[in-house]
Amino acid sequence: MRLTTKGRYAVTAMLDLAIHAETGPVSLNDISGRQGISLSYLEQLFARLRRCGLVASVRGPGGGYRLSRPHAEINVAEIVDAVNESMDATRCNKRGDCQDGGECLTHHLWIDLSDQIHHFLSGINLQQLIERQEIRNTARRQDEHARSRIPAFMSDSVSF
């Protein structure tokens, strides 16, 4: 079992949004630049996250996305579930037809593992992740890298 790109990117984007939320709505373009996730892929993920009530869009100048609830009230499992990512360790998608139409010998072991993974991720919220020093260090490095990629003509103030 492994978490696919969809689940990983959704969690990464939501954590980026949570980290940068204090400055107001965060654009998907900014998340894309910091995280190296394509804008079109983020748009698909955020449509699902919005439908599940995890984010809200803000229209107009300075618009973007914001979390719908406080950081501490959004757990990682919710994010993964919102993008329809399976945390299923079985080969049969929990159907029980893994060996000649019936359950294999280890079917319930893999079901239990899947449940444990979901339970583990349910116990981790965005606030806990933000508080981790290594995550703050990585976010700071990404912010500096993103700022260094802005062309000089865009970062200089122009007076007329």
Residue-range domain boundaries for the chain? 5-87+125-151
Select 5-87+125-151's CATH number: 3.20.20.80, 1.20.1420.20, 3.30.300.130, 1.10.10.10. Answer: 1.10.10.10
Please list, in sequence order, all residues whose beta carbon lies within 8 angstroms of the beta carbon of residue 54, skipping any fewer than 6 positions away: 14, 67, 68, 69, 74, 78, 79, 82
pLDDT of residue 20: 96
State mean pLDDT over 43-65.
95
Q: Give this prediction's pTM.
A: 0.85
Q: Residue type for 122, please?
A: S
Q: Per-residue pLDDT tens for 113-145?
A: 999 999 999 999 999 999 999 999 999 999 998
Residues in the chain: 160
Cα–Cα nearest to 131, from 15, 11, 12, 10: 15
